[in-house]
Amino acid sequence: MIYPVTIIGHPILRKKAEEIDKDYPELEKIIANMFETIYSSDGVGLAAPQINKSIRIIVIDGEPMAEDDPDLTGFKKVFINPKMIEETGEEKLFNEGCLSIPGIREDVNRPSKIKLHYFDEDFVEHEEEFDGTKARIIQHEYDHLEGVLFTDRISPLRKKILKSKLMGISKGKFKATYRTILAK
């Protein structure tokens, strides 16, 4: 099942998502559906608040970007209850987009290395380091679990320029090839 995607302005995108345990109802199905949702919308990552669930699940499949960034070949992952342990390395700009903010892309500055604690889809615990585009995708999705959007991280000037556009998007002024959920 392909989920509709919550759009900027929807309050769930501003909530800190809750941890889950391995008995969370239909967990396997939710994860499969989240992958189906990114494949149908040409995304590379999705966090549960974007499918209107305030829980700490991220799915990523970097394959569509692997042609430009071979490092992402086979980078398909599920992160449950992730905790960012550290973000280090040089800050880098990267042009980000988001299924919850259709039509907008902006350069965002983030540290280039992370260390993450998480559980995988089988609830096996991991502590792992990521860098490059892998780290970038995780940081973007991790922000969703904290109620943060990439447009919060752009310069004050860019924010000012985008303000009315983002307001319009929150009210439905955008084109998307996937189903969406607006704030009531």
Residues with a known catalytic role: 141
Question: Interface with Ni ion by CB under 5 A: which range of 77-85, 95-103, 124-132, 165-173?
Answer: 95-103
98 binds Ni ion (CB under 5 A): yes
Separation CA 167–CA 109 (nearest Å): 23
- Report the residue number whose CB is nearest to Ni ion: 98
Which C-beta is closer to Ni ion: that of 20 or that of 98? 98
Which C-beta is closer to Ni ion: that of 78 or that of 98? 98
Q: Which residues pair with 88 in a beta bridge?
A: 113
- What residue ranges in 17-121 does DSSP mark as E strands? 45-47, 57-61, 76-97, 105-119
Q: Is 31 exposed, middle or buried (0-12, 13-18, 19+ CB in 10 A)?
A: middle
Question: Interface with Ni ion by CB under 5 A: which range of 5-13, 54-62, 90-98, 151-159?
Answer: 90-98
Return residues touching Ni ion (CB under 5 A).
98
